[in-house]
Amino acid sequence: MKAVIQRVKEASVTVDGKQVSRIERGLLTLLGVAKGDDEAKLAKLVAKICELRIFEDDQGKMNLSLKDVGGAHLIVSQFTLLGDCSAGRRPSFVGAEAPERARQLYEKALALSEQQGVPTQGGVFQADMKVALVNDGPVTLVLEA
């Protein structure tokens, strides 16, 4: 499982010209599910994301979490994070989970984030999404579970 987390001032997802989700201050997570990933691994990753201290406190230090600042979470499924570009010029996606299982874990990620007490929105699984964001900092981290 791989996640790219971006601290944002705002972020949104549009599908077929219609905005389907939007958040203000918070985190945008691009989530890639690999073959063999399970709910225990996912729960640990989502909890870590919600508790990462990457928001600034009154002294300008990254000391506060998404939960501490009352931010929102936008999670977007992105299988291309599992692309292997080590050979040739075309990425191989053999390490990505099958769509049905990936959908189940993606939907579980949304629920787990909400259970952390974080207002959470998502993209549309397997849709051609347009993701817009204003990166805050910029702060971008890659997590692997």
pLDDT tens digits, one per residue of 47-100: 999 999 999 999 999 999 999 999 999 999 999 999 999 999 999 999 999 999
Q: Is 120 an active-site residue?
A: no
Q: pTM of the entire structure?
A: 0.96
Does 78 qualify as catalytic in the annotation?
Answer: yes
Confidence at residue 107, expressed as pLDDT on a 0 to 100 scale = 98
From the list 78, 116, 120, 121, the catalytic residue is 78
CA distances from 41 to 9, 16, 89 (A): 28, 33, 31
Angle made by CA atoms 6, 99, 18, in degrees to the nearest 5: 55
Catalytic residue among 29, 55, 79, 116: 79
- Average pLDDT over all residues of the chain: 97
Domains of the chain and any CATH numbers: 2-144 (3.50.80.10)
